[in-house]
Amino acid sequence: MLFEEEREVAFELKYKKARFFAPLQREIFLLKGDSAQDIGRYDFLSDVQRLERAISERRNAGGYAILLTNDSLYWKPSPRETISDSFRLTEGRKITGTLSWTAKAGKGTTEGRDLPISLKGMYECVWRDYSYIAPGEYVKGSGEFKYLIFTVTKTEDLT
């Protein structure tokens, strides 16, 4: 929580990675992939829900949920249906209301994440470029990094 004069600002940050290797200016960057994008999306939206609840209990508060990733499966649409379609963060999607796993979701995926997410605000997925490292002889994996920011305000502030 950040305090700015009389205003409180909360932040939730997620950093989800795809495999990447690059030696750049005497420094080696080696990222292991996180995989499980369905769980990563659920966790990010759960952060948004937590921010909404925390902010609703404070007089003058707001927040930001931020997701930084080099995994294009977070922003690109999928051609097939999955158990986590309601948690998709694809470019241009507007997210609000109750979000749940489909009935086909297994306990291995949903354990500890079995409750639906309920969002009062409306959040549009607008992915922005963060950095890009072009593929090359020594660069392997995904060097395109993007971020998504949801501004979270009190529900009455949204009307």
Give me the residue spans of the domains in the chain: 2-153
Rg (CA), the chain: 17
> The pTM is what?
0.90
What does pLDDT average to over the chain?
91
Identify residue 131 by its one-letter amino acid code: S
Q: Is 60 helix (H, G, I), strand (E, B) or coil?
A: coil
The predicted-structure confidence for 41-64, as pLDDT tens digits, reads as follows: 999 999 999 999 999 988 889 999
Q: Is 54 helix (H, G, I), strand (E, B) or coil?
A: helix
- Provide the CB-side half-sphere exposure for 113 (13 A, CA): 23
CA proximity to 88, closest of 76, 97, 103, 71: 76
Report whether 117 contacts 45 (CB < 8 A).
yes
Give the DSSP letter of residue 81. Answer: -
Report whether 48 contacts 149 (CB < 8 A).
no
The predicted-structure confidence for 83-96, as pLDDT tens digits, reads as follows: 999 999 999 999 99
pLDDT at 134: 87
The predicted-structure confidence for 1-13, as pLDDT tens digits, reads as follows: 566 667 789 999 9
Residue count of the chain: 159
User: What percent of the chain has pLDDT above 90?
Assistant: 67
Q: What is the DSSP string of 85-134?
A: GGG---TT-EEEEEE---TT--HHHHTT--SPEEEEEEEE---EEEEE--
The predicted-structure confidence for 77-128, as pLDDT tens digits, reads as follows: 988 888 999 999 999 999 999 999 998 988 888 899 999 999 999 999 999 9
Residue 128: count other Cβ atoms within 10 Å of its Cβ. Answer: 8
